Every structure is written in structure tokens, then in C-alpha cells.
Chains A and B, each alone.
Chain A
Amino acid sequence: MEQKDVQDLVDHALKVASAKGDAVVQARDVLEHQIRISNSEIDIFKQWNYTVFDVFIAIEGKIGTTEIFSPTPKLIDEEISRLVKLIQSLQPTPLYSGLQEDLKPPTKVDKLYDKRIRDFPNQAPDVVAAALNAAQEAGAKRTAGSFFFSETYNLVETTKGFSGDYPESAYRMTLRSFVDPESSGQGLAVGRRISTAEKDIVQAGQEAGEIALQAVGGKQGKAGVYDLVLHPTVAASILGSLVESANPLLLMMGMSPLKDKLGEKLGPDSLSVWDDGRKPNGLGSAPFDVEGTPTQKSPIFQNGTLQGIIHNTSTAKMNQAKTTGNCSIARFGIGSKMFVPSPSNLVFEPGDASFEELLEPNRPTIYITSNWYLRYTSRLEGSFSTIPRDGMFLIENGEIGQSIQKLRISDNILRMVANIEALGKSPRQIRWWEVETPTFIPFVRIKDAKMTAATQ
């Protein structure tokens, strides 16, 4: 859809909605592609081309949202009329107390859009082929993958007078190489700059192939207590899950172990983490949130202390705090969306250790390159387990040693954060199937983690 047409339709939607109460209209015009790969061949090449509006309306403290695909003036009128009828049948919610009124200029965010994305669909199969070659040259017998790339035009308008738009481009490639069914390795490439995409993607192929080759000959690991060196992919999944729970919605639902812990020292001095909505090249970056609040860099952990949680205008009022520019219209449950704070990019401050230095301490240590299926026994307590997949190795004399398999991290997230011993100096952006919030994080070493294995 042409940008002018999107603009006209958003104006129309806001006009219709504003007659009823406070309103936000968020439009996205998206052209997205995906290439799925297995056995080193393309299985399917997909395209999604769509325009979707999220409309939020608040009438006397009662709120509701609707999602309108392929909007037309007639469809907008019908959907808003239906939404208003639904809202009028509801009761006021504690989660809404007004929209952002103190309008400020949007944040300038670097590297959100690269116009070379337009030609990328034609080049993508060759980029995939280059990555598969790199994996094979590194030792892979076969490689699977998932490669998304997209360009999106975003426009937000609110009844408080905010109007802002921006284009964005994005790519994310995940590659997983196999030497045999139980010897695999993963590589990721994530970003917005198409000019560096091919280099990053080929490097991801190479890393996947190298880890897979290194994993050959894996032996059953022994349950016990180990130090862990976590690849950024694993660190983002485990440590990121705690930082993500610094969210007022999760706190009020009893789904965060951070309840009543604001101001408490939970980790070492080396642990500082921000929610940073303006991080260059970050897939979660944007100039403003859906209320029109400029995005910002908000401290979550500073020197190990839980310093803050993310907010929109309403949750900030509930908590006597200030909005952090994290308002979103986020899917919740099934069928409905919520007007709530959502994380943008989680950014961990890197440490000063090289990867080799992280391997140095002479204690039983395991290096984990990837994981999946993180589940909490109790979200309030933070007890959880997750399963390493792909290459996992014993560290022997400060070097990567015997490949091991079939262990599970079964621990408590608060204990693991308290036991962070060192962070590496080279962060990477992680975003894949298992890590939905883009996370900039280096390698991390954690003391005394508990590993379990099947008993029979």
C-alpha cells in the first residue's frame, strides 16, 4: 500500500475512534519473506505482503483493541463500531489511566532502515547458498535454516496529537548444521543493515558447521554441579528471561521472581542491563512507542541491583514512576491484545574477559552453545529447567574438550544470576525462535549450576 494511502486510512480511523474516547492507531505495512531450509536445500520460499492496523480505544476507563487487516474506510468503520460496542459492555480496567500527553520529539535511532532491502528477495537464494557452502566447508554434512527478511512502514497516531512514522528493514537467519543426527551446531545472524547481512550470514553458516564438527563423538554427560560458560545464544535465553520479567504486567500476575525486589542486589557488580529502544541495529528499536513517547535507554540492573522496570504511561502512574517509552499493543492469551509495556532490546553491558579467559578457571566447567525449551516450575520462585542442544563441551585445562550430550540445566534463575562470575567483552545480538526479545549479550560464565540427566 502506498504510504499516502496508509496515512489517509490512519487519519480516518483516528477520526472515527476519537469520537468515542482516547485512541491509538498503529499501522504497519509489511513486505516480508522467509526461506526455510533443510538437508541443505530450500524447502519453501514465502512472501507475506499485508497492511494491518491495531486500534486501541479507551472509553471511561474501559478499554479494548482490534486488529484490522487490509483496512478500507468501510472496514474501519465496521470494526471500530464493533469494538466500541464490545468496550461498552465491559468494566473499567486497572491497567489504563490515560495516554501520554507530554509530547516530545521522537528519538533519533540509527540504522533502522536500509533501502537495499528492496532488491534483497532476488539476492536471498544466493546468500543462502553461500551460507550453506560455508557450513559445509566447516564440516557440516547437512544444514537446516530459517531466514526472514522484511521491510515495514510504521505509522502511529494518538488522540493526544501524536503522529509519527518510520520505515525499518530487518533480517534474521538461523542455521543449524549436522554432521550426524546427534552432532549439530547453530549460527545466528541478526540485524537491519543489508550491506553487512551476507557477511554475517555466511559467518553464521561457518559457526554452525564448526560447532557441529566439534560436537562429533559426544558422550553422555554426568549430572552434577558445574560452572557453565554460556554462548550468547544461551545467555540471552536464560538471563534474558529474568530481565524480561521486570515488567509490571508479569509482576502483577504473579509471573515474575522479581516481585518486591526493586532496589535489591541480585547479581554481581559486573551485571548491568538496560532496556534500550534506540540501540542502533537492534531489531526491537523504534523512535517512539505506541503512545508517542520517545524510546529511551532504561536501566533494569545496575551493578547487580534491580534498578527499574519498564513502563507505559498507565503502569508508571500505578507505580509512581515515569514511562520508559515501552508501550505496545501486545498479543495476550488468545484473540485479544493488551495495551501494556513490552521490552524493546535487552542490552547487557559487556565485561572485559576474552572467550579464552572465560574458560580459564580450573573447576569442572561445561560450555553450552545453544538451548531450548525453558520452562519454569514456579515463576514466582524462579525455579526452571532448559535443555542444551547442539554442541556442548567439557572444558579441560582451559580449552574446549570432550563433546558431551543429554544434560539439562535444572536450577533457579535468581541463583544463577547471583552466581554470574564474568561476562565476555564481545556482545552479539540474539533473536531466534527461542529468544523473542532482541538481546545484546556476550558470553557469560556462571558458577555452580545444576545439571541433571535422565535417570533411565
Chain B
Amino acid sequence: MTFHDLVQHGVQFGDAQGADYIELRYVQSVVEGYSTRNGEIISAGTTETAGIGIRALANGGIGFVSTARLKKEEIERAVKTAIGLAQTSKRKTPLVLSEEPTVQTRWEVPVKIPFADVSSETKLNRVFEVDKTLTSTFNSDTLPFRLVILALETSKKLITNNEGTQVESDYSLGRYLAMLTAKGNKDIEQRMISRGSTGGWEWFADPQFIQNFVDEAQDAKSVADNAKAMTFDKPVDFIVGPEVAGIISHENCGHPSEADRIQGREGMNAGESFWMDIDVGTTRVGSPAVTVIDDPTIPKSGGFYLYDDEGVQARPRYLIKEGIANEMFHDRLSAGRVGVKSNGSSRATNYNREPIPRMANTYIAPGDYSKEELVEDIKFGIYMKSFTEWNIDDRRYQSKYVGSYARLIRDGEVTDTFVRRPVLELTSRGLFDAVDACSKGFTADQAICGKSDPSQGIPVWTAGPDAMRLRAIRVGGVPT
């Protein structure tokens, strides 16, 4: 039987077995990885998987079974087991899914050069080129540790359920991760970078691919050469770059607006949310200068998709609109619990994971200013272009971002004085309230968003404008 026949049969079989809802999601995936350390290969390989994830709703409970044994009898066993597991849950409050239009469609990531058409030598040489360029531009004493990882992922997916939905897709994502350690006159600075794009090998072939590494290494070297620890007795203004604005949009807005967290479903691991305590639609969670959007439909983006893993059409989500909490991420399960519609946020990392509400491409919406206009209004402040360490509590309210490339602003100009590791340790409300303006521009970093148990590290973009200004921030730091 083909995978089309198998999922169709599984849905019909589950329907006949009495499932209130049955969904089969076939995913065939190839992930290829190449890693070098200081120009020497330390890891290469391919992980190929193909299997079907089965989710059944019965007696108000949900059962999930996955199998990579793609035979008719095995699918029947798995479907029966999923229904059985759902029935044993014995819930007092039955789970329901939101009602959504059924669709029969297909979508794909446009690809110019498929990864499969490029030899492994070419792929690996591209990684070696990065290291050669770095060592010829700097030298290995300046960059004693250089770790570069290239990851190429393609997948084919078919989602079918007993309501008649059938969505097929072809997906392709290229990304890289790197950890660069720069040794300077004063210090050592470690820089983690990650970029990615849906599409094919054409993205890696772009000359900017190599230049990004050189720029990042130069930033790390500048910090290691020049950064001075400073204390700030009075509040100062901050300009943060797109990397910092992007992580803020993800951590302080994206995660707390996930409906499953708000409903308590992630209480054990990823946690709950301070959005449990607010009225979405009316509560102010930031200044009017703050609008945060998540849009899976951005072409070439790292979190791109057109239909989610429940077959619901994707669309932009306006999470915060001019400072007001506006919308949560819903899948059909979280939407069904509160009687609303899904906004197409359901994602799973592979066939063997349940789909749950996830971010895609989350960003602080740009404003009308230029970066220079935002800087020129600052008498004394800090320009924080990038960050190193960060974390946030599991209610997504107590956040910390430690600056990496950071320079002092005086009298409307970014000076040559580097500030060593300035700390933004702020509540989500304290942070978003302090934003008074955003500039034009849009730059994205590729990230892996972690959530759930077993953990599902899913590709997303975190993005922001060229500059976001925060007024009167009390700089954090370790007490002495």
C-alpha cells in the first residue's frame, strides 16, 4: 500500500472502530548534518525517518500512537491502540476539538536547488570555506574555537482526518548554527549564531552566507578587545537591535500567548503563563509602540508553513496590538476548550510527536523611524545589538538578557566605548512598557524553539526592526 492508501485506510478503520475523531499524519523526513570544529570535520550523517502519527479522540480522551512500520495490519493495531488509550483516560471534562472547515489541498516550499541535487562534497566544502575565511580574516589565535554546523531538512507530509481534511506538503529548510570564541586584549567572548531559510541550496550559495560569519566574528572580537564593565547608578535608555528585539518577541510575548500554557496543559514542563491573569483583547501589556506579530506565511522564512499539522490554514497572528494583548496561539484542542476557532498554530516536529500550539515567525512590528532618529533622542544610553545569556521564568514574566555587542550612546551618537555585558533583567510588563519607539527594518534569526515533553525543538524565526528603544531602564547585574 502507498502511504496515501495507508493513511486513508487508517482513518476509515478508526472511524469504524468508533473514534469521535481520528487523524493520521504521515511524515517522511530527511535531515542531513555536517559539523566542523576548527576546520576539521567532527560529525556528518543523515537521519531518515518515515512514519505515521495517529491521534484519536474517544470518550473525551486523547490517545496518540506512532509507528514506522508502514503495513496495513500495523496501522490497524496502532489505530486500535490509540483509541484504547484515549478511552482509558477517563476524563471528567471531555476534550473537544474546535470545528474547522475541511480542506483538500497541497502546499510546498519553493525550491530552486534541491538539497538532494547537491553533492555532500559541495555541502562540506561550504562549511570548510567558512572556517578558511574566518582563519584568513582573523587567525586561529583570535578565534581559538570555531564550531560550525550545517543542517538540511526536507520532508513530505500528508495529514488526513475523518472529517475529510487532506493536506499534503513538501518542505525544505536550510540552516546553520555556529559557536565562535573570540580572544581579545581584554577578554574572551563566545558568540552563538543561527540563521536559516526555507528553500533549497540556493540560500547557502549566496555570498552573504560566508560574510555573516565574518561580521559576527568581528563583533565578538571587538567586544573581547574593548568591552569595559560599567555600573549605572541611574536609569538609562536602551536601543536594542533586531536580534534582541526578536528574542524578546519570542520569550516575553510569543510563549506567554500560547493557549495551551494559558490553559495549564504545559504546567509540568514548559510552564504556564502570566497571560492566565489578563483579559486577552483588553488588557494592556505594553506601551502603544509595541505590536508583536507571528506570521507563518512569510515566504522563505524559517518558520514557514501554509497549513498547520491539523490541516488548518495559517495566517498572521497579532499577539500584541499597540500594547494590548490581542490574540493567543490556538490549535484545535485549545480552541475547542474555550469555544473559539483555531488560528492554525498546531505544529509537531515529526510523525512521532503530538501537534501542539507553536510559534512560527514572531517579530516586533517595525515603526516609521530610522535607527539614527531613535539614537539621536538619547542623551545617555546603551546600544545593545546582540545578546549572550538569556532566560525567563516559566510564567514568562521575569526575563533576563545579557548584552554581547553593546556600546555607549552619548548625546545622540553611538560612541566607540564598549560596555561589557549590560543586563536587561526586567518583567515582561516592565520591558514592554518601557518601549517608546521602533524603527523601520526587519532582520530575522533562525532559532529552535523548545517546548513540551518529549521536547519538540521546532524551527522558528525571531525577528525585529533595526532598532527598538526602551526608556529609563535600571540596568541589572550581579550584586556585590
Q: Is the interface of A mostly helix, strand, loop or mixed?
A: strand
Stretch at the interface among B6-14, B43-51, B157-165, B435-443: B43-51
Taking CB as reference atom, which chain B residue is nearest A384?
A: B389
A71 to chain B, nearest CB (A): 10
Using Cβ atoms and an 8 Å threshold, which residues of chain A touch B362?
Answer: none
| Contact among B31, B51, B454, B479 with A69 in the assembled complex (CB-CB below 8 Å) | B51
Q: A337-B43, A373-B391, A408-B398 are in contact. Are A42 and B91 (CB under 8 A)?
A: yes
A19 sits at the interface (CB 8 A): no
B70 to chain A, nearest CB (A): 8
Q: A42-B89, A380-B188, A385-B400 are in contact. Are A93 and B41 (CB under 8 A)?
A: yes
A389 to B421, CA, bound (A): 25
A116 sits at the interface (CB 8 A): no
A69 to B350, CA, bound (A): 13
* B425 adjacent to A452 (CB under 8 Å): yes
B90 sits at the interface (CB 8 A): yes
* A45 adjacent to B479 (CB under 8 Å): no
Using Cβ atoms and an 8 Å threshold, which residues of chain A touch B35?
Answer: 332-333, 336, 338
Using Cβ atoms and an 8 Å threshold, which residues of chain A touch B477?
Answer: 452
| Contact among B188, B189, B391 with A387 in the assembled complex (CB-CB below 8 Å) | B391
Using Cβ atoms and an 8 Å threshold, which residues of chain B touch A91?
Answer: 40-41, 124
Using Cβ atoms and an 8 Å threshold, which residues of chain A touch B120?
Answer: 85-86, 89-90
A296 sits at the interface (CB 8 A): no
B210 sits at the interface (CB 8 A): no
Which positions 365-385 of chain A face chain B at CB distance < 8 Å?
372-381, 383-385
Stretch at the interface among B133-141, B145-153, B303-311, B409-417: B145-153
Taking CB as reference atom, which chain B residue is nearest A79?
A: B48
B408 sits at the interface (CB 8 A): no
A239 to chain B, nearest CB (A): 18
A65 to B44, CA, bound (A): 7
A118 to chain B, nearest CB (A): 15
A178 sits at the interface (CB 8 A): yes
Using Cβ atoms and an 8 Å threshold, which residues of chain B touch A142?
Answer: 264, 267
Instruction: Mark contacts of A223-234 with chain B using CB atoms, 8 A cut-off: 1 yes-contact digit, 0 otherwise.
Output: 111000000000
B142 to chain A, nearest CB (A): 13
Which positions 140-197 of chain B face chain A at CB distance < 8 Å?
144-145, 147, 149, 151-153, 175, 177, 179, 181, 188-190
B374 sits at the interface (CB 8 A): no
A388 to B169, CA, bound (A): 42
A70 sits at the interface (CB 8 A): yes
A352 sits at the interface (CB 8 A): no
A64 sits at the interface (CB 8 A): yes
A44 to B145, CA, bound (A): 44
A342 sits at the interface (CB 8 A): no
Which positions 34-84 of chain A face chain B at CB distance < 8 Å?
34, 36-39, 41-50, 63-70, 79, 82-83
* A336 adjacent to B47 (CB under 8 Å): yes
Using Cβ atoms and an 8 Å threshold, which residues of chain B touch A37?
Answer: 268
* A174 adjacent to B268 (CB under 8 Å): yes
Taking CB as reference atom, which chain A residue is nearest B475?
A: A455
Taking CB as reference atom, which chain A residue is nearest B128?
A: A91
Using Cβ atoms and an 8 Å threshold, which residues of chain B touch A69?
Answer: 48-51, 68
Q: A90-B44, A333-B177 are in contact. Are A38 and B476 (CB under 8 A)?
A: no
Q: A64-B45, A335-B46 are in contact. Are A377 and B421 (CB under 8 A)?
A: yes
Using Cβ atoms and an 8 Å threshold, which residues of chain B touch A255?
Answer: 145, 179
Using Cβ atoms and an 8 Å threshold, which residues of chain A touch B149?
Answer: 332-334
A27 to B44, CA, bound (A): 20
B474 to chain A, nearest CB (A): 4
A296 to chain B, nearest CB (A): 25
Stretch at the interface among B15-23, B105-113, B269-277: B269-277
* A450 adjacent to B478 (CB under 8 Å): yes
Taking CB as reference atom, which chain B residue is nearest A374?
A: B391
* A66 adjacent to B265 (CB under 8 Å): no
* A378 adjacent to B188 (CB under 8 Å): yes
Instruction: Mark contacts of B28-65 with chain A using CB atoms, 8 A cut-off: 1 yes-contact digit, 0 otherwise.
Output: 00011111010011111111111100000000011111
| Contact among B68, B91, B398 with A406 in the assembled complex (CB-CB below 8 Å) | B398
Q: Size of chain B's interface in residues, with CB distance under 8 A?
A: 101
* A36 adjacent to B268 (CB under 8 Å): yes
* B62 adjacent to A336 (CB under 8 Å): no
Q: A373-B392, A376-B389 are in contact. Are A335 and B50 (CB under 8 A)?
A: no
A374 to B391, CA, bound (A): 7
| Contact among B177, B354, B474 with A44 in the assembled complex (CB-CB below 8 Å) | B354
Instruction: Mark contacts of B404-428 with chain A using CB atoms, 8 A cut-off: 1 yes-contact digit, 0 otherwise.
Output: 0000000000000000010101110
A63 to B43, CA, bound (A): 8
Using Cβ atoms and an 8 Å threshold, which residues of chain A touch B65?
Answer: 46-49
B434 sits at the interface (CB 8 A): yes
| Contact among B68, B271, B426 with A389 in the assembled complex (CB-CB below 8 Å) | B271
Using Cβ atoms and an 8 Å threshold, which residues of chain B touch A79?
Answer: 48
Using Cβ atoms and an 8 Å threshold, which residues of chain A touch B395?
Answer: 181-182
B402 sits at the interface (CB 8 A): yes
Stretch at the interface among B80-88, B291-299, B376-384: B80-88
* B45 adjacent to A65 (CB under 8 Å): yes
Using Cβ atoms and an 8 Å threshold, which residues of chain A touch B144?
Answer: 254
B219 sits at the interface (CB 8 A): no
Instruction: Mark contacts of B81-105 with chain A using CB atoms, 8 A cut-off: 1 yes-contact digit, 0 otherwise.
Output: 1100110111111010000000000
Taking CB as reference atom, which chain B residue is nearest A78?
A: B48
B4 sits at the interface (CB 8 A): no
Using Cβ atoms and an 8 Å threshold, which residues of chain B touch A86?
Answer: 44-46, 120
* A334 adjacent to B188 (CB under 8 Å): no
* A38 adjacent to B33 (CB under 8 Å): no
* A378 adjacent to B388 (CB under 8 Å): yes
Taking CB as reference atom, which chain A residue is nearest B93?
A: A41
Using Cβ atoms and an 8 Å threshold, which residues of chain A touch B82?
Answer: 47
| Contact among A43, A64, A406 with B44 in the assembled complex (CB-CB below 8 Å) | A64
Which of A252, A334, A338: most chain B CB closer than 10 A?
A: A334
Taking CB as reference atom, which chain A residue is nearest B431?
A: A456
Using Cβ atoms and an 8 Å threshold, which residues of chain B touch A337?
Answer: 43, 45, 47
* A44 adjacent to B64 (CB under 8 Å): yes
Using Cβ atoms and an 8 Å threshold, which residues of chain B touch A42?
Answer: 61, 89-91
* B92 adjacent to A454 (CB under 8 Å): no
A375 to B85, CA, bound (A): 37
Taking CB as reference atom, which chain B residue is nearest A82?
A: B46
A370 to B402, CA, bound (A): 23
B215 sits at the interface (CB 8 A): no
* B393 adjacent to A377 (CB under 8 Å): no
Instruction: Mark contacts of A323-345 with chain B using CB atoms, 8 A cut-off: 1 yes-contact digit, 0 otherwise.
Output: 00000000011111110000000
B117 sits at the interface (CB 8 A): no
* A95 adjacent to B42 (CB under 8 Å): yes
Using Cβ atoms and an 8 Å threshold, which residues of chain A touch B476?
Answer: 452, 454-455
Using Cβ atoms and an 8 Å threshold, which residues of chain A touch B62?
Answer: 43-45
Contact residues of A with B, CB < 8 Å?
Answer: 34, 36-39, 41-50, 63-70, 79, 82-83, 85-87, 89-91, 93-95, 125, 142, 144-146, 174-176, 178, 181-182, 223-225, 252-255, 332-338, 372-381, 383-387, 389, 406, 408, 410-411, 433, 450-456
Q: List 12 A-B contacts (CB under 8 A).
A: A43-B265, A64-B44, A67-B45, A91-B41, A146-B268, A181-B276, A252-B37, A336-B44, A373-B393, A406-B398, A433-B455, A451-B479
Q: Other than the known A408-B400, A455-B425, A455-B475, what 17 A-B pairs have Cβ atoms closer than 8 Å? A: A38-B267, A42-B61, A42-B91, A43-B62, A44-B64, A64-B44, A69-B50, A142-B264, A144-B266, A174-B269, A176-B267, A178-B267, A254-B145, A332-B33, A337-B47, A389-B394, A408-B398
Ordered nearest first, which 10 A-B pairs have the shortest CB separation?
A335-B33, A254-B145, A144-B267, A336-B33, A334-B151, A335-B31, A336-B45, A455-B474, A373-B391, A45-B85
